[in-house]
Structure 1
């Protein structure tokens, strides 16, 4: 359906090219745009005839709202959208008829194609947004929507979350589109966060490197491969949430590095898990033993490296480790005991940094 504003733009454009008044009538024969604004809204008898017969109509005498000139039906997708007319002696203005008709139809086609593309993009964005948060089996309606948008739900994908650290500056996530290929998608969830749906077999390390090179000051979270990609989105979000609290000096977080502690943190009895570290806080001296345990865990129990990081002698370190064992009953040289200390300390850190 032709609108007044669009039709008037066509008229104005035509009248810059030809020295005659141009009118556009809708499918009911009413003038909706004209170089003569006084004619807008009036019925045009010549337009009726052009619509009914589907051919160029020449008008030689003023009659039924029509003035001398030529009137041609304009088509889109083989349907008459309206009529375009040129006022003047038909023998003179007739030479412009085909040019004006073709130009009008081309402009209409471009406008409708643009609107259809924008509508498709909007529908696709809405679908991707829902896809990102859908954590259950896809129903028949959702699958049909995917099919209509040419989105293959059967391809194995992982979710990559990119979160801007700067809450003021626009991160311009659209730059990342050059890093995705066919059957991969990017959707902005809010001004500071976007999610990429990436094919599982893609070189993720290379992709992450590419993201980092294009956008500064972002956290990047990576989920597992999932048939329900919304689950991978949740994991990517969780990796950033845990990573910010446990490894604040890093910027790239993979859920595979946090899956165990996540399950312990949210699925276990936290009071029981925290017991060794609470004993250490109560029975230790200041923060020395907590700091010692932190360095011991993060430096993989390498005595020389731990002592160097703490700026103490090896003997002093061994004394502290023995002190930790005396207070907690956990031997740092026993893998099972160390795992319990690691779990307790990690949960403790998460609780201490919650909300930061």
Structure 2
């Protein structure tokens, strides 16, 4: 069935090629799109004949009186998958517009075909996204998961590893063509599953059945990131979970999310297996983190100079000389600032226990909270 929205698109595209009035008519003979909008909804007897007899029809000026709702011009049947799904008509002197007729009919059929396959791709993408979301969230499998996987031609029994890609500073909608290109990038391995997670995230379920090395996976995803940057100007962060069986795939997704948070801090691809302290931090609630910061370095949170000094001290592995050099201050000034930190926080920057507490507080401040130092 030829819908009015697509018919309108056809009229607009064809009008770019020829400066004549164009109509698109459904198989019942009703005009559903036209450059002359007053004709939309009117009956076109000539188009009904074209639709039924599957042949073009030329209408001369003198023939306008013989058929209802027609004007001089030429009408062509629109075929899709060997069936007539509508009619396109060009209004004008038949001798002048006929040479354009076949080209315009072919162009119209091409537009319809492209639209059909684009809609099929969109439908498949939505179905895949919904399935993967359910797959990741399902704890107790039933036959419906297996049946849906079969319909989508997904081998649900493979071990997989999940990678989550978040776009940086992404403020426009991914076009269908761009998304198609992204999916096709992974097509050499038909068992890799790529789904869109909203507009700013891609979730990839990589085939792990052949036990690829960490280096192989990293190289593959680096290539994809380079592709995104080169083709679409997109920068992205990547977090990668660990391999899991199908029924445990949610654990790989959870690990990928955890690794993604660190990726955004370190500006590189992060594997969950690389995480140590971050594993513990990720389990803490926002309130616990907030309370910890308040109880430790809370008294100096509003002093940007002291916070910066403490951060640099940790960055330089507690080397006072390197810290003062990086801050471009005299060593005595550094000692003065550290003394103020000790006084305000009631913690000792020279004590390993207190130093660990302050290090965790700074780490929380940088990674997990919106509190500004």
Please state how far the C-alpha of 1:55 moved relative to its aligned partner: 1.7
Whole-Å separation in 2 of the counterparts to 1:163 and 1:9: 34
Shift of 1:65: 0.9
Deviation at 1:99, TM superposition (A): 2.4
The alignment status of 1:207 with 2:217, answered yes or no, reads yes
Distance 1:86-1:310 versus aligned 2 partners, 3 A rule: closer
For residues 16 and 169 of structure 1, the distance between their equivalents in structure 2, rounded to whole angstroms, comes to 33
Structure 2 vs 1, CA of residues 36 and 155 (structure 1 numbering), >3 Å: closer, same or farther? same
Q: How far apart are residue 110 of structure 1 and its match? A: 1.6
Q: How many residue pairs end up in the alignment?
A: 268
Asked whether 1:230 is paired with 2:250, we answer yes
Q: In 1, are the aligned partners of 2:218 and 2:269 still within 8 Å (CA)?
A: no
- SS of match in other structure, 1:205: helix
Q: Do residues 83 (structure 1) and 87 (structure 2) align?
A: yes
In structure 2, the CA distance between the partners of 1:90 and 1:257, relative to structure 1 (3 Å rule), is: closer
- Superposed CA offset, 1:139-169 (max 9, x none): 33322322332221122212344578x8x67
Distance 1:101 1:208, change over 3 A: closer
In the alignment, does 2:14 pair up with 1:11?
A: no
Secondary structure in 1 matching 2:244? coil
1:71 to 69, 75, 80: 75
Any idea what SS the aligned residue of 1:80 has? strand
Give the match for residue 36 of structure 2.
Answer: 36
Aligned to 1:298: none
Question: Contact (CA 8 Å) 1:26, 1:82: kept in 2 or not?
Answer: yes
> Which runs of structure 2 are paired with 1:1-356 in the superposition (5 Å)?
1-59=1-59, 60-62=63-65, 63-90=67-94, 92-137=96-141, 139-161=142-164, 182=189, 183-189=191-197, 194-200=202-208, 201-208=211-218, 211=221, 214=225, 218=237, 220-228=239-247, 229-237=249-257, 252=270, 254=272
* Unaligned runs of at least 5 residues, structure 2: 227-234, 284-316, 320-355
Checking the alignment, whether the CA contact within 8 Å between 2:159 and 2:243 is kept in structure 1 is no
Contact 1:226 1:232 in 2 (8 A): no
Give, in angstroms, the shift of residue 24 of structure 1. 1.4
Deviation at 1:210, TM superposition (A): 5.9
CA distances 1:58-96 after superposition (whole Å, capped 9, x unpaired): 332333111233222211122221111223444554443
Cα offsets for 1:147-199 (capped at 9, x unmatched): 332221122212344578x8x677x9x89975785111344546776543222
Write the distance in 1 (CA, Å) between the matches of 2:46 and 2:110. 23
Q: Which runs of 5+ in 1 are unaligned?
A: 266-308, 312-344
TM-score (norm. length: structure 1)? 0.58
Give the TM-score taking structure 2 as reference length: 0.56
- After superposition, the Cα gap between the structure-2 partners of 1:36 and 1:143, relative to the gap in structure 1 and judged at 3 Å, is same
Rg larger in structure: 1
Does the C-alpha gap of structure 1 residues 12 and 226 become closer, same or farther in structure 2, counting only changes over 3 Å? closer
